[in-house]
Structure 1
């Protein structure tokens, strides 16, 4: 018996969720149901896994279980970058060893192909735009990262453009940054809208249950998932719930739920758009991992995302949200003095599942229990491809991408509590302090 020690509880401030198309959530589960396949967690990974299982096994019912509402959790709370390139924040050049980087590039590009096709096939309105991304810096540490990243991209044979500070206002409006490295392959989108659209276009043999909090998993002749109003009996269970898998006792002490925070303005008026200048839409990620991510959205809102906390229980905490809101105001004023005082309509937090060695888990965890966990900050692309390939692998398929994931090292172990929480939060505070004006 695996009993959950914590259950999802995100704040209600996510702008992406509230601005995306309203939908009626599927009913919560009650009573007893039996299925060959059960997928736990309806973020990008779970949605991809359930869809692919349904296509591989059209005569089987697949049950997909979500503790909250689709688009409300972590998948709807990121910055909306579907990144094509390797994004190894543990490597000095973001690329890492070339053989691994080439495989990660293949995984990300395959994910982009899958998502693009699904968005087209199902008419999902998620503001998908092939805008690329800017990786920008203002301090010497960040500028050094850009040079290292440039070198890594050249080794990988990927296109880029280095843009000097005096030219950046034509791109971003702001003159805050000294240099940026632009790469054209990233797709920008509205993450909550994408998650909702994917959920509402699942094959007919997928039964989605929302607002269904699984509190225990019992392993025996069958896998039994228990909740307050009933149980679900499965032959095979797929865990796609990231750090919450560890709260059931899987990969104990190996997954890190790191929360990051974002604020989004009201729409800019025409006069404010003119004052800002630059391109109509864009996305910026920081050269320093502890710096600020920015978006200018198609509906002309500005988003700033920074600040971190380690929430060991995986749940939102208001004190961290309040602190982040103050940091967002300072970061916004530094970058957009021409729009000083513009109010934020939304402020929210969301978790990333990280590991100390920046590795993911893919494969089996126990007899008849399998998982794709820990996207390390690349939830849209990594979640989509690992969910898809996990289903293919369980259907008996093998290819170079599946073999690469199966043979990967996997997350390593963290120090025990209370040293873990103390150490991680101290490192996060120190990293944000060292980022200086990059934050």
Structure 2
């Protein structure tokens, strides 16, 4: 028997816009009293619900229970930009690509996750939250254009389609003349992340029991595994942990996970005249030529801007930090949409990313019948889905070739010792964002 006391539990602050524009959810079911299950999943984000859905397919007659610390869609799953990206997307590099062999494997795995999500969207009527729209890369400088042209050469080598874009073409799409060139790739899905994940949870409710607002305060692992909360506990012979960076909160992967926050702001609904002033198309998503630049999405009468990364080793941010970075968002927004003047933001929020120094996931069986799927390296929508699905396959003993591929990937390596991390990580992020320049 091993005891794992949670040194912290998720407690995200500020309502994410994706959650705020949805109708209020029904009252949560909180874990109270003692329960038993065949399968226990801790964490109801993209990874946890993908694992739950896959288990429901593989072992339809067994009891599956999911426990989450917050409301579904309130945490990291509802705080990202909603890009389910099929192509290479390495946040730490000067551009998004890697080696060809690695990228071919990554594309294959990402597309498997996207198709798994697509089938869920069809099954549960979630197509309005899951749109195969593709993504735009926008460059604000000639250097950014050169970076994108190198990325296009890499895509050519991979045999992947793309469309180079000039400034006029991007203006016709986005309404702004801020960008001087770009690239369109067709395989990305644009999700409304909170809408999709809440809809997925609702669709699974016929087969999976979900407890919300029930932070797990301790785990006991052994012949049977027990998760305890403030008001209850649940015991199961098989446990899947899909808590991303909070794996470290339970003592797993200590000093191997890098905890970073990124931030977003969403406008109030734009008036008809403001929408006319912007012009362009009503729905699109754009990522910057430099990975540290600003991601922009337009969803009808609202625009979202996301930028700025901070090192938060305690896995939390503050209202003060969100407000401070909101001023950066306002400057980035006004540079791109000067025709809107001081259009106010209705929502501002931060979201937790878990990275590793070698861009490796936390995946596999870490104790007897204890499985993990986390450390998605900034790609929680697609890689969370992927590793959650594969964790279920692994736990059941389903001999899927992609499980073997995932198990061959390296594990997160050790972080640098203190005080190098607390000094070096913020400096590294500052330097990378400084490099982004006008792309920010």
TM interval, short-chain normalised? over 0.9
Query: Which whole-Å deviations, capped at 9, do the CAs of 1:25-67 have from their partners, x for residues lacking one?
Result: 4311011112221111000000010111122112211110100
Q: Is residue 266 of structure 1 aligned with residue 273 of structure 2?
A: no
Task: Quote how far apart the aligned CAs of 1:93 are.
Answer: 4.5
| Residue aligned with 1:308, SS | strand
Q: CA 1:418–1:93 in 2, change beyond 3 Å: closer, same or farther? A: closer
Query: Which whole-Å deviations, capped at 9, do the CAs of 1:339-364 have from their partners, x for residues lacking one?
Result: 11111011111111111111112211
Q: How does 1:39-438 map to 2 (within 5 A)?
A: 39-124=41-126, 126-202=128-204, 204-298=206-300, 300-438=301-439
| Residue aligned with 1:406, SS | helix
Query: What is the distance in 2 between the residues matched to 1:141 and 1:251?
Result: 38
Query: Which whole-Å deviations, capped at 9, do the CAs of 1:300-353 have from their partners, x for residues lacking one?
Result: 201100011111121222232121111001001111111111110111111111
Task: Give me the TM-score of the superposition, normalised by structure 1.
Answer: 0.96
Task: Quote how far apart the aligned CAs of 1:92 are.
Answer: 4.7
Query: What is the distance in 2 between the residues matched to 1:20 and 1:292?
Result: 24
Whether the 8 Å CA contact 2:147–2:289 is kept in 1: the answer is yes
Q: CA 1:371–1:14 in 2, change beyond 3 Å: closer, same or farther? A: same
- How many residue pairs are counted as aligned between the two chains? 438
Query: What is the distance in 2 between the residues matched to 1:236 and 1:323?
Result: 43
Task: Quote how far apart the aligned CAs of 1:140 are.
Answer: 4.3
Query: Which whole-Å deviations, capped at 9, do the CAs of 1:84-140 have from their partners, x for residues lacking one?
Result: 112123455422122221121111111221212211221126433222111111234
Query: What is the distance in 1 between the residues matched to 2:316 and 2:419?
Result: 18
Whether the 8 Å CA contact 2:216–2:227 is kept in 1: the answer is yes
Task: Give me the TM-score of the superposition, normalised by structure 2.
Answer: 0.96
Query: Which whole-Å deviations, capped at 9, do the CAs of 1:170-194 have from their partners, x for residues lacking one?
Result: 1111101111111111111210000
Query: What is the distance in 1 between the residues matched to 2:350 and 2:63?
Result: 34
Query: What is the distance in 2 between the residues matched to 1:95 and 1:430?
Result: 20
Task: Quote how far apart the aligned CAs of 1:437 are.
Answer: 1.8
Whether the 8 Å CA contact 1:20–1:193 is kept in 2: the answer is yes
Q: CA 1:245–1:31 in 2, change beyond 3 Å: closer, same or farther? A: same
Whether the 8 Å CA contact 1:25–1:210 is kept in 2: the answer is no
Task: Quote how far apart the aligned CAs of 1:422 are.
Answer: 2.3
Task: Quote how far apart the aligned CAs of 1:438 are.
Answer: 1.2
Q: CA 1:93–1:261 in 2, change beyond 3 Å: closer, same or farther? A: closer
Task: Quote how far apart the aligned CAs of 1:218 are.
Answer: 1.5
Q: What is the aligned-residue RMSD (CA, Å)?
A: 1.5
Query: Which whole-Å deviations, capped at 9, do the CAs of 1:200-257 have from their partners, x for residues lacking one?
Result: 0115341110011111112232212122112211211111000001111101111122
Q: CA 1:340–1:315 in 2, change beyond 3 Å: closer, same or farther? A: same
- Partner residue of 1:16 out of 7, 18, 32: 18
